[in-house]
Structure 1
Amino acid sequence: MKKTLESAGAGEIRRHQSTLIREIAIAFPVTIALWLGVYYFMPPLGGMEEPLARLVFTLKCSCFAILFCFLTGIEAVAHERLRSPAIDPLSGYATRRMTINLRYLQNTLEQLVLFIPGLFALAFYCANGYAMRAVVATTVVWIATRLAFWIGYHHGSQHRAAGAPGMMQSMLVLLYVCARIGYEIAGPAGAIAPLIAFGCVEAVLVRTTKPLSA
Protein backbone atom coordinates (compact mmCIF):
# COMPACT_ATOMS: atom_id res chain seq x y z
CA MET A 1 0.00 0.00 0.00
CA LYS A 2 2.81 2.37 0.92
CA LYS A 3 4.62 1.67 -2.36
CA THR A 4 1.40 2.29 -4.27
CA LEU A 5 0.96 5.69 -2.59
CA GLU A 6 4.60 6.57 -3.24
CA SER A 7 4.25 5.60 -6.91
CA ALA A 8 1.11 7.70 -7.23
CA GLY A 9 2.88 10.64 -5.62
CA ALA A 10 5.89 10.26 -7.90
CA GLY A 11 3.60 10.10 -10.93
CA GLU A 12 1.85 13.30 -9.89
CA ILE A 13 5.20 15.05 -9.46
CA ARG A 14 6.31 13.93 -12.93
CA ARG A 15 3.07 15.22 -14.47
CA HIS A 16 3.50 18.51 -12.65
CA GLN A 17 7.10 18.78 -13.87
CA SER A 18 6.20 17.91 -17.47
CA THR A 19 3.51 20.62 -17.49
CA LEU A 20 5.97 23.18 -16.14
CA ILE A 21 8.61 22.26 -18.71
CA ARG A 22 6.11 22.30 -21.59
CA GLU A 23 4.75 25.72 -20.65
CA ILE A 24 8.23 27.15 -20.11
CA ALA A 25 9.20 25.91 -23.59
CA ILE A 26 6.22 27.82 -25.00
CA ALA A 27 6.69 30.94 -22.86
CA PHE A 28 10.34 31.59 -23.73
CA PRO A 29 9.98 32.10 -27.50
CA VAL A 30 6.84 34.18 -26.98
CA THR A 31 8.69 36.35 -24.47
CA ILE A 32 11.70 36.76 -26.73
CA ALA A 33 9.41 37.78 -29.61
CA LEU A 34 7.70 40.33 -27.35
CA TRP A 35 11.03 41.82 -26.23
CA LEU A 36 12.34 42.06 -29.78
CA GLY A 37 9.05 43.48 -31.03
CA VAL A 38 9.08 46.29 -28.49
CA TYR A 39 12.77 47.00 -29.01
CA TYR A 40 12.76 47.15 -32.80
CA PHE A 41 9.34 48.68 -33.46
CA MET A 42 9.26 51.52 -30.94
CA PRO A 43 10.94 54.81 -31.93
CA PRO A 44 14.15 55.90 -30.20
CA LEU A 45 13.67 57.90 -27.02
CA GLY A 46 14.67 61.55 -27.15
CA GLY A 47 16.88 63.35 -24.67
CA MET A 48 18.56 60.23 -23.31
CA GLU A 49 22.19 61.26 -23.77
CA GLU A 50 22.71 62.19 -20.10
CA PRO A 51 22.81 59.44 -17.45
CA LEU A 52 20.44 61.37 -15.18
CA ALA A 53 17.77 61.52 -17.90
CA ARG A 54 18.09 57.77 -18.45
CA LEU A 55 17.81 57.03 -14.74
CA VAL A 56 14.75 59.26 -14.36
CA PHE A 57 13.09 57.50 -17.28
CA THR A 58 13.89 54.15 -15.66
CA LEU A 59 12.26 55.35 -12.45
CA LYS A 60 9.11 55.99 -14.47
CA CYS A 61 9.26 52.48 -15.95
CA SER A 62 9.64 51.07 -12.43
CA CYS A 63 6.50 52.92 -11.37
CA PHE A 64 4.53 51.18 -14.12
CA ALA A 65 5.89 47.80 -13.06
CA ILE A 66 4.97 48.38 -9.42
CA LEU A 67 1.55 49.79 -10.28
CA PHE A 68 0.44 46.91 -12.51
CA CYS A 69 2.17 43.99 -10.84
CA PHE A 70 2.46 44.80 -7.13
CA LEU A 71 -0.20 47.32 -6.24
CA THR A 72 -2.81 45.23 -8.07
CA GLY A 73 -1.88 42.23 -5.93
CA ILE A 74 -2.22 44.27 -2.76
CA GLU A 75 -5.61 45.50 -3.95
CA ALA A 76 -6.79 41.96 -4.74
CA VAL A 77 -6.02 40.83 -1.19
CA ALA A 78 -7.44 44.00 0.36
CA HIS A 79 -10.76 43.74 -1.52
CA GLU A 80 -11.24 40.12 -0.47
CA ARG A 81 -10.37 40.86 3.16
CA LEU A 82 -12.88 43.71 3.24
CA ARG A 83 -15.76 41.42 2.23
CA SER A 84 -14.94 38.29 4.23
CA PRO A 85 -14.01 37.12 7.75
CA ALA A 86 -10.40 37.77 6.73
CA ILE A 87 -11.05 41.43 7.58
CA ASP A 88 -9.59 40.26 10.89
CA PRO A 89 -6.10 39.09 9.81
CA LEU A 90 -5.80 37.01 13.00
CA SER A 91 -8.92 34.97 12.31
CA GLY A 92 -7.01 32.45 10.19
CA TYR A 93 -9.59 32.70 7.43
CA ALA A 94 -8.19 32.40 3.90
CA THR A 95 -9.68 31.22 0.64
CA ARG A 96 -7.64 29.45 -2.04
CA ARG A 97 -7.82 32.63 -4.11
CA MET A 98 -6.44 34.74 -1.27
CA THR A 99 -3.67 32.25 -0.56
CA ILE A 100 -2.58 32.37 -4.20
CA ASN A 101 -2.72 36.17 -4.24
CA LEU A 102 -0.60 36.36 -1.09
CA ARG A 103 1.96 33.99 -2.58
CA TYR A 104 1.94 36.03 -5.78
CA LEU A 105 2.63 39.17 -3.75
CA GLN A 106 5.53 37.56 -1.91
CA ASN A 107 7.03 36.24 -5.13
CA THR A 108 6.59 39.58 -6.91
CA LEU A 109 8.30 41.41 -4.06
CA GLU A 110 11.24 39.04 -4.38
CA GLN A 111 11.30 39.53 -8.16
CA LEU A 112 11.23 43.33 -7.78
CA VAL A 113 14.43 43.18 -5.74
CA LEU A 114 16.11 41.57 -8.78
CA PHE A 115 14.34 43.56 -11.48
CA ILE A 116 14.61 47.19 -10.37
CA PRO A 117 18.37 47.42 -9.56
CA GLY A 118 19.16 45.56 -12.77
CA LEU A 119 16.92 47.88 -14.79
CA PHE A 120 18.60 50.99 -13.39
CA ALA A 121 22.06 49.56 -14.08
CA LEU A 122 20.99 48.61 -17.60
CA ALA A 123 19.82 52.18 -18.22
CA PHE A 124 23.12 53.54 -16.93
CA TYR A 125 24.99 51.50 -19.53
CA CYS A 126 22.66 52.47 -22.39
CA ALA A 127 24.43 55.11 -24.44
CA ASN A 128 21.46 56.86 -26.07
CA GLY A 129 17.77 56.81 -26.93
CA TYR A 130 18.24 53.88 -29.31
CA ALA A 131 19.75 51.68 -26.62
CA MET A 132 17.19 52.83 -24.05
CA ARG A 133 14.56 50.90 -25.95
CA ALA A 134 16.02 47.88 -24.12
CA VAL A 135 14.80 49.35 -20.83
CA VAL A 136 11.27 49.68 -22.19
CA ALA A 137 11.31 46.18 -23.69
CA THR A 138 12.62 44.70 -20.43
CA THR A 139 9.90 46.46 -18.45
CA VAL A 140 7.13 45.32 -20.80
CA VAL A 141 8.33 41.72 -20.66
CA TRP A 142 8.60 41.78 -16.87
CA ILE A 143 5.06 43.11 -16.48
CA ALA A 144 3.67 40.61 -18.99
CA THR A 145 5.38 37.62 -17.39
CA ARG A 146 4.30 38.66 -13.90
CA LEU A 147 0.69 38.85 -15.01
CA ALA A 148 1.01 35.52 -16.83
CA PHE A 149 2.43 33.99 -13.64
CA TRP A 150 -0.47 35.36 -11.59
CA ILE A 151 -3.20 34.24 -13.98
CA GLY A 152 -1.61 30.84 -14.48
CA TYR A 153 -1.28 30.31 -10.73
CA HIS A 154 -5.04 30.70 -10.35
CA HIS A 155 -5.57 27.95 -12.94
CA GLY A 156 -3.19 25.60 -11.13
CA SER A 157 0.24 25.88 -9.54
CA GLN A 158 1.79 24.01 -12.48
CA HIS A 159 0.65 26.81 -14.82
CA ARG A 160 2.70 29.50 -13.10
CA ALA A 161 5.59 28.56 -15.41
CA ALA A 162 4.66 31.37 -17.81
CA GLY A 163 6.40 33.73 -15.39
CA ALA A 164 9.75 31.93 -15.66
CA PRO A 165 11.09 34.05 -18.57
CA GLY A 166 10.72 37.18 -16.41
CA MET A 167 12.99 35.66 -13.77
CA MET A 168 15.46 34.59 -16.46
CA GLN A 169 15.43 38.09 -17.94
CA SER A 170 16.26 39.66 -14.57
CA MET A 171 19.11 37.19 -14.11
CA LEU A 172 20.53 37.93 -17.57
CA VAL A 173 20.32 41.69 -17.01
CA LEU A 174 22.18 41.36 -13.68
CA LEU A 175 24.84 39.16 -15.25
CA TYR A 176 25.27 41.68 -18.08
CA VAL A 177 25.67 44.70 -15.81
CA CYS A 178 27.99 42.82 -13.44
CA ALA A 179 30.13 41.85 -16.43
CA ARG A 180 30.22 45.52 -17.49
CA ILE A 181 31.25 46.56 -13.99
CA GLY A 182 33.90 43.85 -13.92
CA TYR A 183 35.23 45.05 -17.28
CA GLU A 184 35.60 48.58 -15.93
CA ILE A 185 37.62 47.25 -12.99
CA ALA A 186 39.85 44.65 -14.63
CA GLY A 187 39.19 44.49 -18.38
CA PRO A 188 38.12 41.23 -20.08
CA ALA A 189 39.21 39.11 -17.12
CA GLY A 190 37.08 41.23 -14.81
CA ALA A 191 34.08 40.81 -17.13
CA ILE A 192 34.40 37.03 -17.23
CA ALA A 193 35.08 36.57 -13.50
CA PRO A 194 31.55 37.26 -12.18
CA LEU A 195 30.05 35.05 -14.88
CA ILE A 196 32.29 32.13 -13.96
CA ALA A 197 31.71 32.71 -10.24
CA PHE A 198 27.95 32.76 -10.68
CA GLY A 199 28.10 29.64 -12.85
CA CYS A 200 30.02 27.82 -10.11
CA VAL A 201 27.52 28.90 -7.45
CA GLU A 202 24.64 27.78 -9.66
CA ALA A 203 26.28 24.39 -10.21
CA VAL A 204 26.71 23.93 -6.46
CA LEU A 205 23.08 24.88 -5.85
CA VAL A 206 21.85 22.39 -8.46
CA ARG A 207 23.95 19.65 -6.91
CA THR A 208 23.16 20.35 -3.26
CA THR A 209 19.41 20.82 -3.69
CA LYS A 210 18.79 17.38 -5.17
CA PRO A 211 16.06 15.51 -3.25
CA LEU A 212 17.41 12.92 -0.84
CA SER A 213 16.68 9.38 -1.95
CA ALA A 214 14.35 7.44 0.31
Structure 2
Amino acid sequence: MSTPTQDPAHTNPSASNKKMLARWIASGILFFIVIFTLTWISIPQTPNPLANTLTHRMFFAALHIFSASLLLFLGFLAVGSTRWHLETADPTANPAISGEKASGMSIHNRVHGQFLSNTTEQFLMFATAALAASFFLSATGMKLLTVTTVVWIAGRFFFWGGYWYTAVKGLPTYPRAVGLATGLFCTIVMASIAAAGISLHFPLFEGLLQTTSATQTTCFGLLLAPTTGIQASNLIPLCFFSFLIMCMWGIAFFPKVSPPALAITIITTTGWGYLLLSGTIPLRF
Protein backbone atom coordinates (compact mmCIF):
# COMPACT_ATOMS: atom_id res chain seq x y z
CA MET A 1 0.00 0.00 0.00
CA SER A 2 1.50 3.28 -1.08
CA THR A 3 2.02 6.06 1.39
CA PRO A 4 0.32 9.34 0.41
CA THR A 5 2.77 12.09 -0.33
CA GLN A 6 2.52 15.35 1.53
CA ASP A 7 2.60 18.78 0.02
CA PRO A 8 6.10 20.25 0.52
CA ALA A 9 4.46 23.56 1.39
CA HIS A 10 2.90 21.92 4.46
CA THR A 11 5.98 19.98 5.49
CA ASN A 12 8.29 22.94 4.97
CA PRO A 13 6.56 26.29 5.57
CA SER A 14 9.88 28.08 5.12
CA ALA A 15 10.14 26.87 1.51
CA SER A 16 6.58 28.00 0.83
CA ASN A 17 7.31 31.43 2.28
CA LYS A 18 10.42 31.77 0.13
CA LYS A 19 8.45 30.91 -3.00
CA MET A 20 5.80 33.46 -2.10
CA LEU A 21 8.46 36.08 -1.47
CA ALA A 22 10.09 35.27 -4.81
CA ARG A 23 6.76 35.85 -6.55
CA TRP A 24 6.38 39.21 -4.85
CA ILE A 25 9.91 40.18 -5.85
CA ALA A 26 9.16 39.24 -9.45
CA SER A 27 6.03 41.36 -9.21
CA GLY A 28 8.16 44.24 -7.95
CA ILE A 29 10.48 43.97 -10.95
CA LEU A 30 7.51 43.90 -13.32
CA PHE A 31 5.90 46.84 -11.52
CA PHE A 32 9.13 48.83 -11.87
CA ILE A 33 9.43 48.06 -15.59
CA VAL A 34 5.81 49.00 -16.32
CA ILE A 35 5.83 52.27 -14.35
CA PHE A 36 9.27 53.19 -15.69
CA THR A 37 8.21 52.58 -19.31
CA LEU A 38 4.91 54.43 -19.01
CA THR A 39 6.58 57.41 -17.34
CA TRP A 40 9.36 57.49 -19.94
CA ILE A 41 6.86 57.45 -22.80
CA SER A 42 4.66 60.13 -21.24
CA ILE A 43 7.51 62.66 -20.96
CA PRO A 44 8.26 64.50 -24.24
CA GLN A 45 11.66 63.69 -25.71
CA THR A 46 12.98 67.25 -25.95
CA PRO A 47 16.44 68.57 -25.02
CA ASN A 48 16.52 69.84 -21.47
CA PRO A 49 17.67 73.47 -21.25
CA LEU A 50 18.77 72.81 -17.66
CA ALA A 51 21.58 70.54 -18.84
CA ASN A 52 23.94 73.05 -20.44
CA THR A 53 26.16 73.53 -17.40
CA LEU A 54 26.99 71.60 -14.26
CA THR A 55 25.18 74.20 -12.16
CA HIS A 56 22.03 73.76 -14.22
CA ARG A 57 22.17 69.98 -13.93
CA MET A 58 22.65 70.13 -10.16
CA PHE A 59 19.75 72.59 -9.88
CA PHE A 60 17.55 70.25 -11.91
CA ALA A 61 18.51 67.32 -9.68
CA ALA A 62 17.85 69.35 -6.53
CA LEU A 63 14.28 70.03 -7.68
CA HIS A 64 13.64 66.30 -8.04
CA ILE A 65 15.32 65.44 -4.75
CA PHE A 66 13.13 68.02 -3.03
CA SER A 67 10.02 66.46 -4.58
CA ALA A 68 11.05 63.04 -3.29
CA SER A 69 11.79 64.45 0.16
CA LEU A 70 8.17 65.50 0.59
CA LEU A 71 7.34 61.87 1.34
CA LEU A 72 9.41 62.24 4.50
CA PHE A 73 7.15 65.11 5.48
CA LEU A 74 4.07 62.94 4.88
CA GLY A 75 5.53 60.15 6.98
CA PHE A 76 6.49 62.54 9.77
CA LEU A 77 3.02 64.08 9.71
CA ALA A 78 1.38 60.64 9.84
CA VAL A 79 3.52 59.56 12.81
CA GLY A 80 2.91 62.85 14.61
CA SER A 81 -0.83 62.63 14.09
CA THR A 82 -0.94 59.07 15.40
CA ARG A 83 1.19 59.93 18.41
CA TRP A 84 -1.09 62.85 19.21
CA HIS A 85 -4.15 60.60 19.28
CA LEU A 86 -2.32 58.01 21.39
CA GLU A 87 -1.02 60.46 23.96
CA THR A 88 -4.26 62.38 24.32
CA ALA A 89 -6.03 59.08 25.00
CA ASP A 90 -3.31 57.82 27.35
CA PRO A 91 -0.53 60.18 28.52
CA THR A 92 1.62 57.21 29.55
CA ALA A 93 1.89 56.25 25.87
CA ASN A 94 4.40 59.07 25.42
CA PRO A 95 7.67 57.51 24.17
CA ALA A 96 9.56 59.53 26.77
CA ILE A 97 7.62 57.65 29.45
CA SER A 98 7.12 54.25 27.89
CA GLY A 99 8.45 53.73 24.39
CA GLU A 100 7.49 50.05 24.33
CA LYS A 101 3.92 50.83 25.26
CA ALA A 102 3.67 53.52 22.61
CA SER A 103 5.02 51.26 19.90
CA GLY A 104 2.61 48.46 20.69
CA MET A 105 -0.62 50.39 21.21
CA SER A 106 -1.60 51.28 17.66
CA ILE A 107 -1.30 49.60 14.31
CA HIS A 108 -1.26 53.09 12.79
CA ASN A 109 1.76 54.01 14.84
CA ARG A 110 3.69 50.91 13.78
CA VAL A 111 2.88 51.20 10.08
CA HIS A 112 3.61 54.92 9.83
CA GLY A 113 6.77 54.55 11.88
CA GLN A 114 8.08 51.76 9.64
CA PHE A 115 7.24 53.79 6.53
CA LEU A 116 9.04 56.87 7.83
CA SER A 117 12.10 54.89 8.91
CA ASN A 118 12.45 52.95 5.67
CA THR A 119 11.70 55.97 3.49
CA THR A 120 14.42 57.93 5.26
CA GLU A 121 16.95 55.21 4.45
CA GLN A 122 15.76 54.86 0.85
CA PHE A 123 15.72 58.63 0.33
CA LEU A 124 19.29 59.01 1.54
CA MET A 125 20.49 56.44 -1.00
CA PHE A 126 18.37 57.72 -3.87
CA ALA A 127 19.13 61.41 -3.30
CA THR A 128 22.88 60.78 -3.14
CA ALA A 129 22.82 58.66 -6.30
CA ALA A 130 20.61 61.13 -8.19
CA LEU A 131 22.83 64.08 -7.31
CA ALA A 132 25.99 62.21 -8.31
CA ALA A 133 24.41 61.04 -11.58
CA SER A 134 23.37 64.59 -12.50
CA PHE A 135 27.04 65.53 -12.95
CA PHE A 136 27.32 63.22 -15.96
CA LEU A 137 23.85 63.16 -17.56
CA SER A 138 23.39 64.64 -21.02
CA ALA A 139 20.45 66.83 -22.04
CA THR A 140 18.60 63.70 -23.13
CA GLY A 141 19.69 61.71 -20.11
CA MET A 142 18.28 64.30 -17.72
CA LYS A 143 14.92 62.75 -18.50
CA LEU A 144 16.02 59.80 -16.37
CA LEU A 145 16.00 62.02 -13.29
CA THR A 146 12.33 62.79 -13.76
CA VAL A 147 11.41 59.20 -14.58
CA THR A 148 13.25 57.62 -11.66
CA THR A 149 11.89 60.22 -9.24
CA VAL A 150 8.31 59.53 -10.32
CA VAL A 151 8.84 55.77 -10.11
CA TRP A 152 10.59 56.07 -6.74
CA ILE A 153 7.67 58.04 -5.30
CA ALA A 154 5.19 55.49 -6.71
CA GLY A 155 7.21 52.69 -5.12
CA ARG A 156 7.14 54.41 -1.75
CA PHE A 157 3.35 54.64 -1.79
CA PHE A 158 3.17 50.97 -2.79
CA PHE A 159 5.49 50.15 0.11
CA TRP A 160 3.24 52.10 2.48
CA GLY A 161 0.15 50.34 1.18
CA GLY A 162 1.91 46.99 1.43
CA TYR A 163 2.55 47.54 5.12
CA TRP A 164 -1.10 48.41 5.64
CA TYR A 165 -2.18 45.29 3.77
CA THR A 166 -0.04 42.95 5.80
CA ALA A 167 -0.87 44.65 9.10
CA VAL A 168 -4.61 44.40 8.50
CA LYS A 169 -4.52 40.87 7.08
CA GLY A 170 -1.99 39.60 9.58
CA LEU A 171 0.11 38.09 6.79
CA PRO A 172 3.86 38.18 6.10
CA THR A 173 5.00 41.54 4.80
CA TYR A 174 5.64 40.36 1.24
CA PRO A 175 3.60 43.04 -0.60
CA ARG A 176 5.97 45.72 0.65
CA ALA A 177 8.71 43.94 -1.31
CA VAL A 178 7.18 45.38 -4.49
CA GLY A 179 7.56 48.96 -3.30
CA LEU A 180 10.95 48.24 -1.76
CA ALA A 181 12.27 46.69 -4.97
CA THR A 182 10.94 49.59 -7.04
CA GLY A 183 12.79 52.15 -4.96
CA LEU A 184 15.98 50.10 -4.96
CA PHE A 185 15.95 49.75 -8.74
CA CYS A 186 15.62 53.52 -9.11
CA THR A 187 18.61 53.96 -6.84
CA ILE A 188 20.55 51.34 -8.79
CA VAL A 189 19.83 53.15 -12.07
CA MET A 190 21.10 56.46 -10.71
CA ALA A 191 24.07 54.88 -8.94
CA SER A 192 25.05 52.97 -12.08
CA ILE A 193 25.00 56.18 -14.11
CA ALA A 194 27.16 57.91 -11.53
CA ALA A 195 29.60 54.98 -11.45
CA ALA A 196 29.80 54.90 -15.25
CA GLY A 197 30.33 58.66 -15.41
CA ILE A 198 33.09 58.59 -12.81
CA SER A 199 34.85 55.74 -14.62
CA LEU A 200 34.56 57.54 -17.97
CA HIS A 201 35.94 60.89 -16.82
CA PHE A 202 38.38 59.83 -14.11
CA PRO A 203 40.71 61.51 -13.25
CA LEU A 204 39.96 64.62 -15.36
CA PHE A 205 36.56 66.17 -14.64
CA GLU A 206 37.21 69.68 -15.96
CA GLY A 207 35.13 69.07 -19.07
CA LEU A 208 32.01 68.73 -16.95
CA LEU A 209 32.33 72.38 -15.91
CA GLN A 210 31.98 73.62 -19.48
CA THR A 211 28.85 74.33 -21.48
CA THR A 212 27.62 71.04 -22.90
CA SER A 213 25.37 72.12 -25.78
CA ALA A 214 27.76 70.69 -28.37
CA THR A 215 29.38 67.98 -26.28
CA GLN A 216 29.38 64.41 -27.52
CA THR A 217 27.48 61.78 -25.59
CA THR A 218 27.88 58.07 -24.95
CA CYS A 219 25.98 55.15 -23.42
CA PHE A 220 22.89 55.46 -25.66
CA GLY A 221 23.17 59.25 -25.53
CA LEU A 222 22.54 59.38 -21.79
CA LEU A 223 26.01 60.33 -20.55
CA LEU A 224 28.37 63.16 -21.40
CA ALA A 225 31.49 61.89 -23.13
CA PRO A 226 34.88 63.30 -22.13
CA THR A 227 35.64 66.46 -24.10
CA THR A 228 39.25 65.44 -24.65
CA GLY A 229 41.03 62.15 -24.93
CA ILE A 230 41.95 61.01 -21.42
CA GLN A 231 45.11 58.95 -21.26
CA ALA A 232 45.35 58.60 -17.48
CA SER A 233 44.38 55.31 -15.85
CA ASN A 234 40.85 54.78 -14.60
CA LEU A 235 41.63 51.52 -12.79
CA ILE A 236 40.91 52.99 -9.35
CA PRO A 237 37.16 53.58 -9.88
CA LEU A 238 36.80 50.45 -12.01
CA CYS A 239 38.39 48.27 -9.34
CA PHE A 240 36.40 49.94 -6.57
CA PHE A 241 33.00 49.49 -8.24
CA SER A 242 33.87 45.94 -9.29
CA PHE A 243 34.88 45.17 -5.70
CA LEU A 244 31.51 46.44 -4.47
CA ILE A 245 29.75 44.09 -6.88
CA MET A 246 31.85 41.20 -5.57
CA CYS A 247 30.72 42.15 -2.07
CA MET A 248 27.12 42.04 -3.29
CA TRP A 249 27.67 38.44 -4.43
CA GLY A 250 29.01 37.57 -1.01
CA ILE A 251 25.99 39.13 0.69
CA ALA A 252 23.65 37.28 -1.69
CA PHE A 253 25.08 33.85 -0.80
CA PHE A 254 26.30 34.09 2.79
CA PRO A 255 25.32 32.91 5.30
CA LYS A 256 22.47 31.62 3.10
CA VAL A 257 21.18 32.38 -0.36
CA SER A 258 19.02 35.52 -0.33
CA PRO A 259 16.74 35.73 -3.41
CA PRO A 260 16.18 39.52 -3.12
CA ALA A 261 19.90 40.27 -2.86
CA LEU A 262 20.67 37.73 -5.58
CA ALA A 263 18.22 39.32 -8.03
CA ILE A 264 19.66 42.79 -7.46
CA THR A 265 23.21 41.45 -7.74
CA ILE A 266 22.52 39.68 -11.03
CA ILE A 267 20.96 42.80 -12.56
CA THR A 268 23.81 45.02 -11.35
CA THR A 269 26.49 42.60 -12.54
CA THR A 270 24.87 42.25 -15.96
CA GLY A 271 24.72 46.01 -16.47
CA TRP A 272 28.24 46.63 -15.23
CA GLY A 273 29.60 43.77 -17.30
CA TYR A 274 27.93 45.12 -20.43
CA LEU A 275 29.44 48.58 -19.93
CA LEU A 276 32.92 47.09 -19.60
CA LEU A 277 32.77 44.37 -22.25
CA SER A 278 31.08 46.58 -24.85
CA GLY A 279 33.77 49.22 -24.51
CA THR A 280 31.29 51.87 -23.36
CA ILE A 281 33.64 52.38 -20.43
CA PRO A 282 37.16 52.03 -21.81
CA LEU A 283 39.77 50.32 -19.69
CA ARG A 284 42.76 52.64 -19.39
CA PHE A 285 45.95 51.39 -17.74
TM-score (norm 1): 0.83
Equivalent residue number for residue 74 of structure 1: 76
1:1-214 equivalences under 5 Å are 10-11=12-13, 13-43=14-44, 44=46, 45-67=48-70, 69-85=71-87, 88-89=94-95, 90-91=97-98, 92-94=101-103, 95-128=106-139, 130-156=140-166, 157-163=173-179, 164-185=181-202, 189=235, 192-210=238-256
Identity %: 23
Judge conservation of contact 1:145–1:162 (CA < 8 Å) in 2.
Answer: yes
Paired residues in the alignment total 202
Aligned letter for 2:252?
V
The structure-2 alpha-carbon separation of the partners of 1:96 and 1:16, relative to structure 1 and needing over 3 Å to count, comes to farther
The structure-2 alpha-carbon separation of the partners of 1:47 and 1:202, relative to structure 1 and needing over 3 Å to count, comes to closer
Deviating beyond 3 angstroms after TM superposition, the runs of 4 or more aligned structure 1 residues are 7-10, 13-16, 186-192
> C-alpha distance in 1, partners of 2:250/2:243?
11
Judge conservation of contact 1:73–1:101 (CA < 8 Å) in 2.
Answer: yes
The structure-2 alpha-carbon separation of the partners of 1:60 and 1:152, relative to structure 1 and needing over 3 Å to count, comes to same
> C-alpha distance in 2, partners of 1:104/1:47?
33
The structure-2 alpha-carbon separation of the partners of 1:100 and 1:16, relative to structure 1 and needing over 3 Å to count, comes to farther
Per-residue deviation, residues 55-114 of structure 1 (Å, max 9, x unmatched): 1121111111111x2111111111111111376223322322311221221111111121
Higher RCO (CA < 8 A, seq sep 6+): 1
Structure with the larger helix share: 1
Judge conservation of contact 2:31–2:178 (CA < 8 Å) in 1.
Answer: no
SS in structure 2 at match of 1:182: helix
The structure-2 alpha-carbon separation of the partners of 1:180 and 1:160, relative to structure 1 and needing over 3 Å to count, comes to same
Structure 2 unpaired stretches of 5+: 1-8, 167-172, 203-231, 258-285
Judge conservation of contact 1:182–1:194 (CA < 8 Å) in 2.
Answer: no
> C-alpha distance in 1, partners of 2:157/2:150?
11
Higher alpha-carbon Rg? 2
Shift of 1:145: 0.7
SS in structure 2 at match of 1:125: coil
The structure-2 alpha-carbon separation of the partners of 1:187 and 1:99, relative to structure 1 and needing over 3 Å to count, comes to same
Aligned letter for 2:119?
T
> C-alpha distance in 2, partners of 1:176/1:127?
11
Judge conservation of contact 1:179–1:195 (CA < 8 Å) in 2.
Answer: no
SS in structure 2 at match of 1:84: helix
> C-alpha distance in 1, partners of 2:185/2:242?
17
Judge conservation of contact 2:199–2:237 (CA < 8 Å) in 1.
Answer: yes
TM-score (norm 2): 0.64
Structure 1 unpaired stretches of 5+: 1-6
